[in-house]
Structure 1
Amino acid sequence: MNLTVGVREAADIMKVHPKTVLDLIAEGAMPAAKIGRSWVLLTADVLGLVEHQIAFQTAARLRSAPRRERQQRLLTLSGGSPVFDSQTTATPRRPK
């Protein structure tokens, strides 16, 4: 992978329209330099922005989920599957 990309390549990496990349540059959310007529972005910066957004939005979804549902998701994400006690269906526990 190249160290630098243009607006179109950044848009391809991010799976967005090139106009969205230009908007992010204009807002200062995406570091870039205009060299001649072209915008130049570091590939690491593009991937870093995507990684940050994934982490931020995932955390927001987990925070907004009800507690029981959040516990089940965390168990599933950690490799376990949610298993419930035989006495109650409201208390998830990890399998032994």
Structure 2
Amino acid sequence: MTERVTQPTLDVLEALLGAEGFELHGWAIIKGTGRAGPTVYKILERLSGAGLLAGRWEELGPDDNRPRRRFYQLTPTGIAHARQLLAERRPKTAARWSPRPGGEAHA
């Protein structure tokens, strides 16, 4: 995955780290990064294929009249990889995601 690390990829990783362990759906990532949908979804597909991202489809009730959303969350390996990439390529913002002594991140 690291052979193709673009600015949009870094934006998506930063948004996912910023979720602090919560899942984000694709539209939220698009809005948070300001990147185009096709760009974001290609990045999410690559991250998933590399094992850095877990995704799940939302369950809808019978009265829900809208499309299901897919939710995404970095895997533990993905978190470590994202922190490393951001530290290398965006050192000023990566400080927000550095681990605390207890292993937790701070924002």
| Fold match by TM threshold 0.5 | no
Higher relative contact order (CA 8 A, sep 6+): 2
Query: Whose Rg is larger?
Result: 1
